[in-house]
Amino acid sequence: METDERSLFSRIIDREIPADIVYEDDEVIAFRDIAPKAPVHLLVVPKTGQYRDVAELAAGDPALLATVVATAKRLADEHANGDFRLIFNTGAGAGQTVFHVHAHVLSAPGEGNSLEEGNLAD
């Protein structure tokens, strides 16, 4: 039996799996998380599956990492109030479940809303 070694995100990039895409260019794609942990919870994913986590990306292509961060800022400006939390889970013990580097962009736009420290621990 043959197995598909491509990540879930590679399959989204190739349009084999649907996603609510909010941004795309030649280097990255961004879409809404299917299990959001904040009112705004977007994923920014490099289109290359070459890097498993942010440490590999930083070592292998710092310019692409800068693109991921700049995209996160742009999305926070467009979908929230510009304030955001940027999370990279690195390793299974840290909660990484898809081993294709990706950034979580979280925000709580609106008057009186905020992401309090510690409220994302579950």
Q: Which residues are catalytic?
A: 102
Asked if residues 41 and 32 have their Cβ atoms less than 8 Å apart, the reply is yes
3 state DSSP class of 11: helix
| Pairing, β 40-46 against β 28-32 | antiparallel
Tell me the C-alpha distance between 82 and 104, whole Å: 15
Kindly state the tokens that stand for 89: 């889970």
Tell me the C-alpha distance between 24 and 47, whole Å: 9
